[in-house]
Amino acid sequence: MPLHLIKLSVGTDSIADLQGWIDDKIKAQKKRGVKKPERIHTTRMVPKRANELKDGGSIYWVIKGQIMCRELILDVRPFTDKDGIHRCKLVLDPKCIPVEPRPRAAFQGWRYLEDKETPRDLSKMGKGALDMPEELRRELMQLGLL
């Protein structure tokens, strides 16, 4: 079973906002002449369970207090920065996959998330869930109607 990460998406207000930021970063890499642009998220800590993350894991993003989407983890690349500090580059699929909104309190850094704890993809929730505006989905989830 894959292992996942969960992390706060600081400064984003919606899935569309996060996806726009990702798209802008990829475009900037292409503009700089990068032949194979990658979606990289750098963390301060190197996951000790990296092999489990690379075995079908995702990073689940908390946006405005709710788990809202995920990105597949393609690779985990530890490195040492110019100050000699060990860090990690998470290589992610640049496509945000909306998930069933689920409340999540704030925390620092990232946490592991077991497969059995993950919210379902919206595409598996039933007809129309993906077509609904994000704010409406949030409200319906809070009311227990979705």
- Asked if 5 and 110 touch (Cβ cutoff 8 Å), the reply is yes
Distance CA 8, CA 101 (A): 14
Question: Where does the pLDDT of residue 136 fall: very low under 50, low under 70, confident under 90, or very high at 90 and above?
Answer: confident
pLDDT tens for residues 28-53? 999 999 999 999 999 988 899 999 99
pLDDT of residue 18: 96
Number of domains in the chain: 1
pLDDT tens for residues 82-114? 999 889 999 999 999 999 888 899 899 899 999
Q: Which domain holds residue 27?
A: 3-142
